[in-house]
Amino acid sequence: MEEHNHGHDAHTQVGDSHEMTSYEKRAGAILSLLTEKGVVASDEIWRAIDDMDSRTPALGAKVVARAWVDPEFKAQLLTDTKAALTELDVDIGSLNTVVALENTDKVHNVVVCTLCSCYPRTILGVPPDWYKSLSYRSRVVVDPRGVLREFGLELDPDVEVRVYDSTADIRYLVIPSRPAGTEAATEDELAGLVSRDSMIGVAMASAPGK
């Protein structure tokens, strides 16, 4: 498993209820103070929230599809992900670092955030509830194959499974393997085969016609 220094103090801890955490309360108080002092207008805050809410996995799927059809873009995506996303006019917002991981016949990557719910929202949208659950966050680290099996993904024994821990500073995007039989597919058609779960690493990209 990749080891990273989390720095999760700036993030909301995942709880088992909908009660506001101390971090959420603090964030609300800070926002109120900023608007009262005229540092930022409330409509600017709501525009930012609306923009974030509008993000969906379709943006990440567009990135994956381009990587499948453009070897030069994929090479750049794997070596300098942020620069490649910028070239594709993908706004990653305040993310400091985002790293693309390529799944192959020999290596399968899966992403988790063990301490909270760090996630590349700017390119994948809102994280699924299971990603934030204590069960997934704790179990995928110690038994990744077992967890993947519960998602319906059975990997061959000779495939190496690598678990990457997202942090406040580093987020990950999994580039799933391109499905067979898609040689004649258009880029838009390929994007339609890419799911949110495949870009987290708990699923494969869909086969044509599935």
Could you give the residue numbers annotated as active site? 113, 116-118
Q: Which of 83, 74, 130, 126 is nearest to 104 (CA)?
A: 74
Q: Which two tokens stand for residue 22?
A: 């101390």
Q: For residue 209, give both structure tokens.
A: 């016609």
| β-sheet bridge partners, residue 120 | none
Q: What is the 3-state secondary structure (H, E, C) of 94-107?
A: CCCEEEEEECCCCE
Cβ atoms 34, 40 nearer than 8 A = yes
41 vs 25, 37, 46, 64, 70, CA distance in Å? 19, 9, 9, 36, 42
Residue 110, beta-bridge partner list: 163
